[in-house]
Amino acid sequence: MDWKQIANEPWIWISGFIIAAVALYQATFFMMKALNIMKQNGLDQKQIIGIVRGATITSVGPIFAEIFVMVALVVALSPGFAWQREGAAVGSVFTELVQASNAAVGAGQEFGAENFDMLGFSNVVFVMNVACIGWLLVTGLFTPYLAKAREKIGGGDHMWLSVLTICATLGVFGYYAATNLVKMKTTAGVPVGIATIAGAILAIFFFRLSDWIKSPRLKEWALGLAMFGGMIIGKLAADLLLA
C-alpha cells in the first residue's frame, strides 16, 4: 500500500481522537472545578457567558491561522496526521513543521520532497510525537513545585503577585513582539512588525474605549478586533510596500 494511503487510514485518526479525548477530559474537569468554586463566590450566569464569549471571539483568529498553516501538513503528509498532531499535544503548527523536517532528515530524506516515502513518514510519526513528551513530563511532574516557588516569591502580597503576573506576561509577549519588530521582514522583505505595532495600538484603543464608553461587552471583542485589525493593516501595508 502507498504510504500516502496508510497515512490517512483509521489508525491515525483514532490515535488523534484518543489523545484529543484526554485533553478534553482534562480541560472539562478543570473548567467544572473552576466554575463550581467561582459560582460559590459570586460568579453569575451572565458573567460566565461573557467569559465564554470573550474566549470564543479571541480564539477565532488564531484558529483560522492554525488551519491555514496546517494545510502544509495536510498536503505534505495527510489530513489524518495533521489532525493527530494538531488536535492536541503541543500542536503549534509552526513548531510541527520544523520537527517534521528534522525527522525527515533523520531518515535521509527531505520533508515533502520526491524521495519522501514510508520510511520517512514512519520516522516523522515517531519523532514528532515523542519529541513533545518533554513538555508533558516536565509539567506533569513539576507543576506543584512551580506553584510553591511562586508562593515563595509572592510572599503573600496580593498586589505584588498581580504585578509579578503582569511582568511575566509582558516578558513573554515582549519577547514575541520584539522578534517581529527586530526582524521587520518576511521572506519577501516585508516588515511584519507593522502588524505587531498596529495590533498593540488597536488593543490599547479598544480596551480604553470600553472604559470610556462604559461598555464591558467591548472587552470581549477588544483582543479579537485588535488581532484582525493588526493583521489586515499588516497585510495592506505589505501590499503597498511591495507594489
Partner 1 sequence: MATSTHLQATDIDEVTYEQQFTRPIHIVGRYTNLFGAALMFLPSLWLYLQYGVFPPTEAILVGMGLALTYAVPFYIIEPISYYPTLGDAGTYMSFFAGNISNMRLPCAAVAQEVAGVEEGSKKGELVATIGIAVSIWLSIIAVFIGAVATGWIVQVFPPWIQDAFKTYLLPAVFGAVFGQFALRGFKYAIVALILATLPLLLAWKAYVVIPLAVFGTILIGRLMYRKGTTQVEEGEGHP
Segment 187-216, which members bind partner 1 (CB under 8 A)? 192-193, 195-204, 207-208, 210-211, 214-216
Contacting residue, 113, 136, 209, 241, with partner 1 by CB under 8 A: 136
Contacting residue, 4, 113, 176, 185, with partner 1 by CB under 8 A: 176
SS3 177: helix
Interior angle at CA 59, CA 61 and CA 145, nearest 5: 130
Question: How many residues form the binding site for partner 1 (CB under 8 A)?
Answer: 165
Closest by CA position to 199, among listed 238, 176, 225: 225
Contacting residue, 160, 185, 209, 242, with partner 1 by CB under 8 A: 160
**Distance of alpha carbon 213 from alpha carbon 217, whole angstroms:** 11
Contacting residue, 167, 209, 241, 242, with partner 1 by CB under 8 A: 167
Nearer to partner 1, 41 or 114 (CB): 41
**Least distance (Å) between residue 115 CB and partner 1:** 13
Contacting residue, 4, 113, 115, 162, with partner 1 by CB under 8 A: 162
Question: Within 13 Å, how many C-alpha atoms sit on residue 98's CB side?
Answer: 6
Contacting residue, 4, 63, 189, 242, with partner 1 by CB under 8 A: 63
SS3 131: coil
Which residue type does 112 have? Answer: G
Which residues, 35 to 54, sit near partner 1 by CB under 8 A? 35-38, 40-43, 47-48, 50-54
Q: Which long-range contacts (CB under 8 A, 24 or more apart) does 114-122 make?
A: 116/76, 117/3, 118/3, 118/6, 121/3, 121/6, 121/7, 121/77
**Distance of alpha carbon 113 from alpha carbon 65, whole angstroms:** 24
**Least distance (Å) between residue 114 CB and partner 1:** 18
**Is 16:80 a contact under the CB 8 Å cutoff?**
yes
Which residues, 83 to 112, sit near partner 1 by CB under 8 A? 83-84, 86-92, 94-95, 98-99, 102-108
Contacting residue, 115, 186, 209, 242, with partner 1 by CB under 8 A: 186
